[in-house]
Structures are given as C-alpha cells and as structure tokens.
Amino acid sequence: MSIRTVERQLRRTSEQIANLRAELVFLEEQFTHLSEEAETARIYALVSETPISERTHQRAARHANVIGQQRNQLVARLGQLEGQQDSLLDRIIGRLN
C-alpha cells in the first residue's frame, strides 16, 4: 500500500475520531441530564408511592440506560478507530525508516 493511500486513510480516520469525540461530548451531556432526571423521579416515586410516579421513574431510567448504552458503543468505536489510527501511523513511520 502506498504512503499516499495510508495518509488518506489516516486523514479519514482522524476525521471520524474528531466527529465521534464531538458526538461523545453531546451524549455525555445527555446522559448526565437524563441520569439526574431518573434519580429525581426515583426519589419522588419512593416518597409519593403512586403508580404514575413509578412509571415516570421507570421511563426516565430507560431513557438514561439507552443513552448510556449508546455512549458505551461510541466509546468502543472510538477505541477501534484509535487503534486503526495507531496502526496507520506505524505504517507511515515504517516506510520513512
């Protein structure tokens, strides 16, 4: 594989990493907000002991869990791309030596 091809792949991978990091910041903010909301709903459900408050808590907890799972998947994808980036950098360094 030519060095230009590797450089192109490296640029593309770097762009993907930057985009995913920006998305991760957004998901982190959402997760924090939804987790706090779920915790507030949980406390309210404990105090009020009504079916409606319990459903509200369950719904809020589900939303927080979904965002948490998306965040975890994104972190895993970032790890893969960073590994790919390291491999591409190693190829470039290997060709320069």
pLDDT over 80 at 96, yes or no: no
- Residue pair 54/3 in contact (Cβ under 8 Å)? The answer is no
pLDDT over 90 at 1, yes or no: no
pLDDT over 80 at 10, yes or no: yes
pLDDT in tens, 32-61: 999 999 999 999 999 999 999 999 999 999
**Per-residue pLDDT at 30:** 96
Query: Residue 34, Cα to own-chain centre: how many angstroms?
Result: 15
Question: What are phi and psi for residue 49, nearest 5 degrees?
Answer: 55, 45
- Domain housing 24: 3-92
**Per-residue pLDDT at 3:** 85
pLDDT over 90 at 2, yes or no: no
Number of domains within the chain: 1
**Per-residue pLDDT at 79:** 97
DSSP letter (8 states) at residue 97? -
User: Is 97 part of a structural domain of the chain?
Assistant: no
pLDDT in tens, 74-93: 999 999 999 999 999 999 88
DSSP H helical segments within the chain, as ranges? Answer: 3-48, 51-96
C-alpha span between 97 and 94 (Å, rounded): 5
